[in-house]
Amino acid sequence: MITNACAANVNGEGSYLAYDDIFNAVYPFSLEPLPYAADALEPAIDAKTMEIHHGRHHNGYINNLNSALENRSNLQEMTLSELVAGLNDLPDEVQTAVRNHGGGHLNHVIFWNTMTPGGSSSAGRLADAIDRDFGSLENLKAELKSAAGGVFGSGWAWLAAGSGGALSVVQTPNQDNPLTDGLTPLTGVDVWEHAYYLNYQNLRGDYVDAWLDLVHWEKVSELYEQSMNA
Ligand code: MN
């Protein structure tokens, strides 16, 4: 008998999204189930934080993004990455909503889909590029931790790919996404307090350390490969 009753979490347990499903989704946007159970990342990230973060915060960004595009059929044809990358060319009336809620949606989809219990290993061209651009995975992790710690207020720290596959670590404020600056985000850590406050309170560095051990580098490798073919 399968005794999986604790999977009564409202967030469900779905599967990892492919590159196209992350970056090229179109209106109306919807909340996909987490690719693992809400308690799967414990003790690094507790189930309650996951449920609130995914079911309320992320869902809120999606609802607000859909509302902003509701009566704009021309924008409804754009993919999520086109909206976020082309933010500065959008009509003034929707720019802020797409920045906050389009970014909020994309950022969280990347976040959920590039974590896995216990983490995983990078492979192929990403592993080579990490060594080329950072010297080692340990150096990259140190840069990510430093960037995450240096975000004042709410925001994100990212591993991003530029033209030709050059890797860099960047910060974005609020729900901004590196795509708006011409970089493809590969993974990122949410340092809004809603992401960690229940468990870590003010100890953002401990949360970032825990996140670094959850990074699904195998999935990040896949996104990297596809970003270079996109
Ligand atoms: Mn968040």
pLDDT digits (tens, 9 = 90+) for 92-131: 999 999 999 999 999 999 999 999 999 999 989 999 999 9
Residue 162 has what pLDDT? 96
pLDDT digits (tens, 9 = 90+) for 45-66: 999 999 999 999 999 999 999 9
Please compute the mean of the pLDDT values over residues 15-21 and round it to a whole number. Answer: 96
Residue 229 has what pLDDT? 84
**Residue bearing tokens 């609130």:** 52
Residue 195 CA to ligand 1 center (angstroms) comes to 5
Question: What pLDDT band is residue 220 in, cutting at 50, 70 and 90?
Answer: very high
Residue 48 CA to ligand 1 center (angstroms) comes to 14
Residues 223/122, Cβ–Cβ less than 8 Å: no
Position 113: which residue type? N
Residue 230 has what pLDDT? 75
Residue 64 CA to ligand 1 center (angstroms) comes to 15
Position 144: which residue type? L
Domains and CATH numbers, the chain: 18-29+46-113 (1.10.287.990), 124-229 (3.55.40.20)
Residue 11 has what pLDDT? 58
Three-state SS sequence of 8-64: CCCCCCCCCCCHHHHHCCECCCCCCCCCCCCCCCCCCCCHHHHHHHHHHHHHHHHHH
Residue 11 CA to ligand 1 center (angstroms) comes to 15
Residue 31 CA to ligand 1 center (angstroms) comes to 14
Residue 54 CA to ligand 1 center (angstroms) comes to 8
Residue 61 CA to ligand 1 center (angstroms) comes to 10
* pLDDT higher than 50, residue 2: no
Residue 67 CA to ligand 1 center (angstroms) comes to 19
Residue 156 has what pLDDT? 98
Residue 147 CA to ligand 1 center (angstroms) comes to 17
* pLDDT higher than 90, residue 1: no
pLDDT, averaged across the chain: 94
Question: What pLDDT band is residue 10 in, cutting at 50, 70 and 90?
Answer: very low
Residue 3 CA to ligand 1 center (angstroms) comes to 31
pLDDT digits (tens, 9 = 90+) for 139-165: 999 999 999 999 999 999 999 999 899
* pLDDT higher than 70, residue 9: no
Residue 1 CA to ligand 1 center (angstroms) comes to 36
